Structure 1
Amino acid sequence: MLNQSEKTLIKQLQQGDRQAFSTVVGCYQDMVYNTAISIVQNEEDAADITQDVFVQVFQSVGSFKGDAKFSTWLYRIVIAKALDHEKRKKRKKRFGFIQSLYTEKGEAKYHPEEFNHPGIQLENKEKAGELFKALKQIPANQRIAFMLNKIEGLNNQEIAVIMNTSFYAVESLLARAKNNLKKSLKKYYLQSAKQSSHEK
């Protein structure tokens, strides 16, 4: 449930108060951007999604009933927009740029570009890069649950509310995500171990 200051802020926002909107943007823009970049893994796209999210917040806050936390409502918007953005981008690539993704030998040459996640320390950047690459390979619902848990630090009950599912379904999604990620990252860690043993 909302606390009193949140209730007041939302009420002002629903009345079209620009100052209240600035306050909401100031409070939540990092959360929105971090969630978006965890999903789309591209700084420019994440910035665009963040802007779109707040435009939607301003336009549709009238439909917010206050029966869940404001942040829950916000997470749902950013996740939906980020996943939608991914689908559009995939369609674009499929229909517009198929030739450019392949070398003359027919080998795929596309690799996800590097990006900086604000929550990742510099010394963990390489490991984080491999993790995010692996996250792209697992089903979207597993990826969202894992990202909300491990990157956003939310508990299973909070994730269940955001994803509109049960606590046990979230547990299952997280278990499957970890299992799939282990398989994807096994190769990377084996290579790292070999490299470490050569350096000794």
Structure 2
Amino acid sequence: MKKSDQQRQNIIDVGRALFAKNGYAGTSTRMINEQAGIAEGLLYYYFPQGKRQLLDTIVHDGIVARRNTAAIQLQDWHADNLADQVMTLFHTFWQSFDNDAGYQSFLITIRERPLLSAEQSQWLISTIEGVQEQITTALRGVDPRPEQRERLATIAQLIMSIFQRTVYDELLIRDSRNPAAMDRADVRREICLVLELMKK
């Protein structure tokens, strides 16, 4: 990585940590400069629109990282171990929040939601919908009956809702980033209940 790229990444890392800790409004460009160890004005070299462009970059990078983590192949799911396969997907989904950058980006995206542009909001929606569509496709591979298509889409939506609620509960309400402390047995029970709908 070139020195200029390292400097830019350093500003992003510092900005992300400060926005997560203090909020966007509570973080000044001076604070970012001091924490990053850069001269005043250098932030504007990398981010000409200043703090707002830095926020946009952090939000975008976080959404892309979560999308890339979630963009796994869900082919060859089988009825005999479907709950295990869904739980494997849940673990993959959780990993996108299981590091400082992912966690901080998530907090910033939630806290600064009123500042997000329509395009940024659409990135979030399309990421969630993309994972949900992958789940629907995988479930249709398990049960290809045409009359089940709509039901399987609903089941995929319910699975995604369980994933999202669990992440929000752990990260926002309980302020816990420790996946070992999470009661995954409860998540699995909910998943199994939802998957029972496929048998009807």
After TM superposition, the score normalised by the length of structure 1 is 0.30
After TM superposition, the score normalised by the length of structure 2 is 0.30
